[in-house]
Structure 1
Amino acid sequence: MIGSKRFATMLAVLTSTLPLAAAAEDAAEDTASAALPPGTFRIPGTDTTVSVYGFAEVDATYDFDGRTSDINNFDWASFVSVQPFDNLGVEEPMKRQAFITARASRLGIMSNTPTPLGPLSVRLEADFVAPNTFQGELATNSTAFRLRHAYGQLGGLLIGQTWSTFFDGESTPDTVDFNPAAALALMRQTVARYTFTFSPEASLALAIENPQSLTFSSDYDAVPDFIAAFRYGGSRGHVSARAVTHEFRTTEHSKRAYGVGLSGSFKFANETLVAAVQGGDGIGRYMFNSLLQGAFDTGDQLELWRAYAYHIGLTHAWSPAVRSNVIWTQTFFAQNDRLEAAQRAFSEGAGTTDFIPNKRIDQLFVNTFWKITKNTEVGLEYTYGKRATFGLERGTQHRANVLVRFGLY
């Protein structure tokens, strides 16, 4: 047996090392936490890290010409495809309108957990840009919390709501306006997507996505949308090629539509160039300005609008804190007299000009962003837009946009 004196000595040594072991463990955790990116912390007792991000943002607009009056649903940002007409006495737009909102403020959380199959990432993000009618601007200006992203990703598999696979965020021009240029699929929806990575530069994404028809008739959806997107790129830029096939369907008719897109970016010196072109028969909501002009049920059949759009944007960095952008974009619709007459009659019967078919939409953005402190940015922008129909109607936008954004850290 161990003598009492020897046992007391061993116990003293053991208890003296426990604080040292605990201190070493704490130091290791502190070192691991210090290596995490800003805004990221480890949940105690787990191997999961969590990142919190977001910002408070104020957007102000001033329209020198008319704007759509329905800013609750067609949000306050530029949507020139429904710009009020300013000629022929068709519609007398209200001019010189101001609007200020904090709806675009955003809050997000991301987690990362090691698993035997690789890291599992989960993302939840929301803002306040939901239709706002309850306690609106006359009272407390309450706005509804709106889901932006909600998905899990394990390796190449992503399931949940996020940007559509047809959307190329890397070729998105930098605008103060909350809405972007026309040649983009500005959609977040529920997807099941697998991305095959062939090399650090090349990947192919295949996706099944939530369908949503708009035929101004008895819309319903029976088949999901199918999308493929190939990307190749490196530190100087990238190129993306995409294709989508989706179905328009009513209780009596159905027709399959398609869209294709090509986009990219290129960085040189202090400049960044982004460009995109896309289109198709019935591309509809997979191209921003054709959201309301994808298909129409003429009574005896579904007919598809053929449309295409492009944008080009140039960013110049004057300094690490100041950058300016010039962006030009156009959208075109092929003439279809029967389809145009049917959709025009529907729009006029509904007492609105929003759904009168467009022939062409032009837009120009000129802006400057200034990062005045570590987490405070200001943006100033002028936007021009013109909507032209197959008739003689024209709608013109002249707008000033201001943004002030305060990051959480």
Structure 2
Amino acid sequence: MTTTRLPVTVGRPAAWTLIPVLPALLLGAQSASAQESELQELRERIETLESRLGTGTAPEPQADSNYLLKDGRGIRIGDTTVTIGGFIKADVLAGSNGNGWKNGYSVGLARTFAKAARDGESDWKTGFSARESRISIGTKTSDVAGHDLKTYVEMDFNQGASADGNEVVSNSYAPRLRQAYGAWNNWLFGQTYTTFTDLAAMPEILDQGKQAAFIFLRQPMVRYTMAAPGGKLMLALENPEDGFGSESYDDQSYPDLVARYQIRNELGMYSVAGVVRNIEDDAADETVTTGAVSLSARIPTVGRDDVRLQYSYGDLGRYMGLFSYPDVDRAALAAGDVEPLKTFGATAAYRHFWSPNWRSSLSVSHTEIVDDLTAPPAGTLSYFDASTSVHVNLLWSPHKKLTLGVEYAHWNFAEIAGDGNEQYQQVMASGKFVF
């Protein structure tokens, strides 16, 4: 058998032997280049997505310039998240008995309605206002001595009818403080809604809080909140005050002591609250310790519907119905005696969803003075010792930040030491734009 060997030249490159593998080498190089390109494109896509979502690794803060990073609902500055919120609320109201919102004053005190019902004209008047619009700034700072530190400031432009501003040319009004508080480690310091009220039970009406008997009040306080079986317990020392209308006696020696126990579960929200107060009069050199209790609930029914209830009794005074009644019997006070004025109030409301975007609330609220009174001017306040309000509305919210609605309200005022009644009505349309 003869073997034939191919000649091989040693020391010279056999270039022709690479020809068969060149396509494979070129293909591999192209594939690697394509993979690297795809990886780079993927990295760019991820970076773009992270920038849109506000995620990813934030740059380290500099000593002379804190970084800004979108953090949830707010803007993060260093280790503090700042949130700006509020709403624009545009209202138009037509009131009976010649009440057309003098000076755009939309607070809607029961005393104002009562005066219009008795002394006003027979025709209706119309007023427009944007003064209930609000703006708020909130902050949250992480790990302040082991706990989050939160602050909140809120203002609107809804001051009294006698405040600066006019409807003639500019309709310009100064802002007023609504809330301003700081919260840390279960403590709250500052001004917010009184611990004696339960906002979860407040009916949803366009003229918010303006009902005959609902507890709706804000004031400075120191509050501590702790866990309790089924819910939480709140204890507070709050600003003491008495007086009536524009009168402020400002002679209290001790703060109001307020407590609220709240339960929240799948059956709804329930709470009981109490307040202990010292009513004083320097001229009479007399001090009386008194108080009041309040029960409230928000109960789910069918679908998204719910029932909201509140009952209060005691020396409610300024705490109820936007100060419909004074804290003391003014006739007794004029005679040199401090006599707390006992009242009660009840509010019931049902909210029904016609569809995901349409809903209505029907609210009935009644308050009454329990103590016997003589007729004015020796009596206690104006001319009524009982009032009832009824509100019904239709609201449309195509988005959670937009609500348009109309509302009808009817008030009845019962005369002191008599059988007479005075009526007041109003129709309100409102647009609320949340930011």
Which bin holds the TM-score, normalised by the shorter protein?
A: 0.7 to 0.9
Aligned to 1:350: none
CA offsets 1:227-269 (integer angstroms, 9 cap, x no match): 0110011244110100001122221233222110000111132
Unaligned runs of 5+ residues in structure 1 are 1-22, 348-354
- The residue that corresponds to 1:17 in the other structure is none
Is 1:328 aligned to 2:364, yes or no? yes
CA spacing shift, 1:94–1:273, aligned 2, 3 Å: same
Shift of 1:319: 2.1
Preserved contact between residue 251 and residue 281 of structure 2 (Cα < 8 Å) = yes
Give the counterpart of 2:342 among 257, 282, 306: 306
Q: What are the superposed Cα offsets for residues 303-329 of structure 1, whole Å, 9 maximum, x if unpaired?
A: 222110101111111222211111111
Q: CA RMSD in A?
A: 2.8
* Distance of 2:236 and 2:248 partners within structure 1: 28
2:288 to 255, 259, 262: 255
* 2:404 alignment counterpart: 378
Deviation, 1:184, is: 2.5
CA distance in 1, matches of 2:352, 2:111: 29
Q: Could you tell me which residue of structure 1 aligns to residue 269 of structure 2?
A: 238
1:272 partnered with 2:306: yes
The equivalent position to 1:124 in structure 2, one of 153, 158, 165, is 153
Which residue of structure 1 aligns with residue 326 of structure 2? Answer: 293
Look up the equivalent residue of 1:153 and give its one-letter code. A
- The answer to whether structure 1 residue 214 and structure 2 residue 243 are counterparts is yes
Deviation readout 1:94-117 (Å, 9 max, x if unpaired): 530111100011101111111233
CA 1:66–1:360 in structure 2 vs 1: closer, same or farther (change >3 Å)?
farther
In the alignment, what sits opposite 2:192?
A: 162
Q: Which residue number corresponds to residue 404 of structure 1?
A: 431
Contact 1:185 1:285 survives alignment (8 Å): no
1:177 aligns with 2:223: no
Is contact 1:229-1:243 (8 Å) kept? yes
Q: What letter corresponds to residue 313 of structure 1 in structure 2? A: A
Q: Note the C-alpha offset of 1:213.
A: 1.1
What secondary structure does 1:302 align onto? coil
The answer on 1:135 being equivalent to 2:162 is no
* In structure 1, distance between residues paired with 2:240 and 2:312: 19
TM-score, reference length from structure 2: 0.77
For 1:313 and 1:69, the matched residues in 2 are separated by 26
Structure 1 residue 207: Cα displacement: 0.4
Count how many residue pairs are aligned between Structure 1 and Structure 2.
366
1:84 and 1:116 map into 2 onto residues whose CA distance is 52
Alignment partner, residue 60 of structure 1: 92
Alignment CA distance shift 1:98-1:174 (3 Å): same
Q: Matched residue of 1:344: which SS? A: coil
* TM-score for the superposition, normalised by structure 1: 0.82
AA of the residue aligned to 1:246:
R
Q: Whose radius of gyration is greater, 1 or 2?
A: 2
Amino acid at match of 1:389: E
User: Which 4+ runs in 1 deviate beyond 6 A?
Assistant: 23-26
2:243 aligned counterpart, secondary structure: coil
Query: What per-residue deviation string (whole Å, max 9, x for no partner) do you get for residues 184-236 of structure 1?
Result: 3211110100011135x411111000011116685522211110110011244
Question: Secondary structure of 1:319's partner?
Answer: coil
> How far, CA to CA, are the matches of 1:181 and 1:84 in structure 2?
13
| Structure 2 residue matching 1:29: 3-state secondary structure | coil
CA contact (8 A) 2:214 2:321 kept: yes
Greater relative contact order: 1 or 2 (C-alpha under 8 angstroms, separation 6 or more)?
A: 1
Instruction: Please give the secondary structure, in 2, of the residue aligned with 1:285.
Output: helix
CA contact (8 A) 1:67 1:94 kept: no
